[in-house]
A and B are shown apart, each in its own frame.
Chain A
Amino acid sequence: MEGDVVQMGAYIGAGLACTGMGGAAVGVGHVVGNFLSGALRNPSAAGGQTATMFIGIAFSEALGIFSFLVALLLMFAV
């Protein structure tokens, strides 16, 4: 029995924060899936929209990265 309750709470919180990554995964999958279904309907227009897809991925991924940041802060800064 080492450490203290605060550290235990921080570690549990860091683990819980990682569930946010699942949300980011759903978001990124949604973006790419919808891009693909649109691209297969109209392949000629797909090439010009890949940049937009990556911007969408980056924005939805940012929120997953915030959960990673929260986990890092709980692990090392609290």
Chain B
Amino acid sequence: MATEVANGAEHADEGGLVFHPMDQFIIKPLFGDGPVGMFTITNVTLWMALTILCIFALLVLGSSSRALVPGRIQSIAELAYGFIRKMVEDVAGKDALPYFPYIMTLFMFIVFSNFLGLLPGSFTTTSHIGVTAVLAMAVFLTVTILGFVKHGAGFLSLFWISAAPLPLRPILALIEVISYFVRPVSHSIRLAGNMMAGHAVIKVFAAFAPMILISAGIGLVVTPLSIVAITAIYALEMLVAFIQAYVFTILTCVYLKDALHPHH
């Protein structure tokens, strides 16, 4: 990710845009200009910490009064809890409820970092494949280990589809194994790609918006158009921010169901 962003920064000098649309994804140290090492405090660290703080404020401080008739913030916390709990129950089954806290954690982290990333001037942590790959690999390893712990070698029957005719089964098994190992890739890149693409599109239009300062003739058309486009895409991004968090968690539930009930 770092090299591609550096590439983007170079291109900004050549092109006509005021700034490069990929500049917003540059990871830079919060204090000073030193190189980014393993333990450097960067803008990623800052926005992840803010994400955690927001979740803490909503789920711990917001619902600490435990009112019988919930207030506004407590209702939001209760709605989120009920929403995810119902999703786990519907998609993965009742016996997946012990794993509900993990799925709730994933959902809250992703949804908050997506929405915090929509604040102007902020940094979207989930737009980096490095962040989402860790989340997806954690899900993949958890699910795989869980499947083997629960079912032993019986977990492999996930790949041996007994409903299919016998001659087809080896071919299907091969396809199933490939699709199983592609899961963490598509799981992580879906989130990062959606976030990155949406924010880059907003920045492309944002670069066209000050055209009126350069030439009044073209600017009279381009500037209002791009401001309308930014508004529309921003609204779409609000939707995408939620839907991608929802899709990430629902796929986690699907994978969890496969681990708990591998028999087709």
| Contact surface of B with A, Cβ cutoff 8 Å | 3-4, 7, 87, 90-91, 185-186, 189-190, 193, 197, 243, 246-247, 250-251, 254
Number of A-B contacts (CB under 8 A): 38
Q: Is the contact region of chain B dominated by helix, strand, or loop, or is it mixed?
A: helix
User: What residues of chain A lie closer than 8 Å to B91, measured between beta carbons?
Assistant: 51, 55
Asked if B186 contacts A62 (CB within 8 A), the reply is yes
- Of the candidates A54, A68, A76, the one whose C-beta lies within 8 Å of that of B7 is A76
User: What residues of chain B lie closer than 8 Å to A57, measured between beta carbons?
Assistant: 247
Asked if A65 contacts B4 (CB within 8 A), the reply is no
CA distance A72 to B8 in the complex (A): 12
Asked if B3 contacts A58 (CB within 8 A), the reply is no
Q: How large is the interface on A (under 10, 10 to 19, 20 to 34, 35 or more residues)?
A: 10 to 19
- Of the candidates B4, B190, B250, the one whose C-beta lies within 8 Å of that of A51 is B250
| Contacts known (A62-B186, A76-B7); A54 close to B250, Cβ less than 8 A | yes
User: What residues of chain B lie closer than 8 Å to A61, measured between beta carbons?
Assistant: 190
CA distance A55 to B254 in the complex (A): 8
User: What residues of chain A lie closer than 8 Å to B4, measured between beta carbons?
Assistant: 72, 75-76
Asked if B250 contacts A68 (CB within 8 A), the reply is no
Which chain A residues (59-78) contact chain B, with CB distance < 8 Å?
61-62, 65-66, 68-69, 72, 75-76
Asked if B251 contacts A65 (CB within 8 A), the reply is no
